[in-house]
Structure 1
Amino acid sequence: MASNPRPRKASGSTPLGDFFTPGRIVALVVAVLVLIFVFQNTGRTKIRVLIPEVIMPLWLALLATALIGLFLGMYLTHRRR
């Protein structure tokens, strides 16, 4: 009798099924909506950060804000664990 070194997975369980959890699906949908919103707003705008005033594309400012929020959220959730 040869023993099988790999444990069996539950029936219906696939690698993609394990990857796409409800939380990850929601995060993916939100990320797609953020990207659609960012790229729909392509005009130039004035942005003032403390003292200097900068003129830049609105999509770049929105994308930078989204990335800052993403990294801050990741930092805070990682720190709680």
Structure 2
Amino acid sequence: MSNPIADPGHGHSPAAWTAVIIMLVGIAVGTTAFFLNVPWLVWSCVVVVVIGLIVGFVLAKVGYGVNGPKYTAKEH
């Protein structure tokens, strides 16, 4: 029962953090715009969320992903 579950290490990279932060900002602003009934801002935030996904993918391909050469794992 004392065997710890190994951490797969997913999501602990600059690429993942950058993508998530961009997408969270887009979702937060988009939700507020939806509540305030500002349709153009809602759709702009949808574009921001997609841009966040693309930025994360590009950063991972450039080497800032979990197994990338520019990423150094940190001890927990």
TM-score by length of 2: 0.45
Which one has more relative contact order, counting CA pairs under 8 Å at least 6 apart?
2
Structure number with higher strand proportion = 1
TM-score by length of 1: 0.43
Structure of greater Rg = 1
